[in-house]
Each structure stands twice: as structure tokens, then as C-alpha cells.
Amino acid sequence: MKITIKIFLLLLCTKLFSQEHHTSTISLRVTSSVTSCQFFIEISTSSTKTNILLKTKNQHHKTSPKDGNGLKLYQQPPSLINAVNTPLDTIESYIDKFDSIGLANNEFNVDSLTIINSKYPNYTKLLNNILTSSADSLHDAPNRIVLDGTSIRIKINHNGRKSIQYSSSPTSTSNPKIYLLLTETTSLFKTLKKNYYLDSKPICGY
């Protein structure tokens, strides 16, 4: 009987430990075609806490190329990126390469914070909503045309499910979930960290 109880308690602790250390991630890449503003958000959340990393391009810093060929590729991406029949995986690999080149050849302000989920229930609920949303619910409103604006790529990894979504200049009406995710996340940094590059004005409009 004692052995059975010990086994039960061991299994229970193992389950609780697994739940505690299981994390889901949300990655955001935000780029403005008008102002050249760019920032990245990496969110890692578990059942108890959430870690957020923010990288914001310093637009006042003059680019100092570390890789001439790479920087040229970054500034003038190949035409296949815009080709209609280009496979999504190919486009994604190029975007990742461009991002790594951009991060290496530009100066970024980097900051992070950790929040306890129970103290920020509304934000935690928003994250859970994003993580469990269907792909369709994260799409922009139909019949909306944006010629020049801010492009967002969002990567989600939750319970073994991986997805990539895109949005163009999301607003509270065109794509409320992604818009809220952007504004609420930057708002956390403004409130908790009071960063000078966030307090002066919104980054890329958010």
C-alpha cells in the first residue's frame, strides 16, 4: 500500500514539474517600409511566468557593415521573395537570413522582463488566446488594402503545434488580436521598465 502511494505521489510530482517547465513561445518580427523602423519580440510563457525579450533597432545609429555582401543582400533582397510561386519555406529561410544579417550590421536596443502570470491576468489571458487561436482568426480583415505600412510576422509554438502568420499594419478593427498583442506588450515595457526609446514615442506605431 505504501509503495502504491509513493508511486502515485511520484507520478503527481512529475506531472506538476512537467507542467511548470512546459513553455509556449510567440515570436514577432515588426518592420515598417516607410520609416525603416524594426523591432523583434520573443515571448516565452509557462503556467506560472512569462519572459519577454524586446529588440528595437536604433534608427539614430549609422550602419557599420561587418559583411559587405551580406548587407547588400539584406538591403536588396532577391526578387524571388516577391514571386508568387515561391514556396513559403524558401521565403522563410531568406527572411531569417536577412534578420540575422540585419542584427549583425545594425545597433539594437535590447531589453527584457519577467512577469508572474497571476499578477497580470489580462495579459496572460491574451497570450493564451493567441496561442490557442485558429490560423483564420489571426488573419487580417478581408478586402483591406495597405500599400505601404508595417509588416508583422508572428511565429507560434504551442503544444507541438507550429504556425506562422502575417499581418499588415494591424489595427483594433483589422486584426484585433495581433494589434492587442503588440500594444499590450510594448505597454508592459513602458510601465515596468520606462525605457527612453519607448517613452519618447511608439515604436513602429505601436
Q: What is the pLDDT of residue 158?
A: 93
Q: What is the pLDDT of residue 91?
A: 59
Considering the domain boundaries, does residue 129 fall inside one?
Answer: yes
Q: What is the pLDDT of residue 71?
A: 47
Q: What is the pLDDT of residue 118?
A: 96
Q: Total structural domains in the chain?
A: 1
CB of 117 within 8 A of CB of 47?
yes
Q: What is the pLDDT of residue 98?
A: 61
Question: Could you list the residue range(s) of the whole structural domain that residue 201 is in?
Answer: 24-61+107-205
Phi and psi at residue 37, in whole multiples of 5°? -70, 145
Three-state SS letters, 158-186: ECCEEEEEEEECCCCCCCHHHHHHHHHHH
Q: Which amino acid is at 58?
A: N
CB of 138 within 8 A of CB of 165?
yes
Q: What is the pLDDT of residue 24?
A: 95
* Grid cell listed for 83: 514571386
Considering the domain boundaries, does residue 35 fall inside one?
Answer: yes
CATH number at residue 46: 3.30.1560
Rounded Cα distance, 141 and 174, in Å: 5
- Cα distances (angstroms) measured from residue 201 to each of 34, 106, 107, 164, 196: 16, 20, 19, 29, 9
pLDDT along the chain (206 residues), means of 10: 47 45 88 82 95 84 50 47 53 62 68 95 96 88 75 90 88 92 91 66 74
Considering the domain boundaries, does residue 5 fall inside one?
Answer: no
The Cα angle at residue 187 between residues 185 and 188, in degrees rounded to 5:
70
Q: What is the pLDDT of residue 92?
A: 62
Considering the domain boundaries, does residue 16 fall inside one?
Answer: no
Considering the domain boundaries, does residue 121 fall inside one?
Answer: yes
Considering the domain boundaries, does residue 54 fall inside one?
Answer: yes
Q: What is the pLDDT of residue 164?
A: 87
The Cα angle at residue 196 between residues 193 and 200, in degrees rounded to 5:
120
Q: What is the pLDDT of residue 84?
A: 46
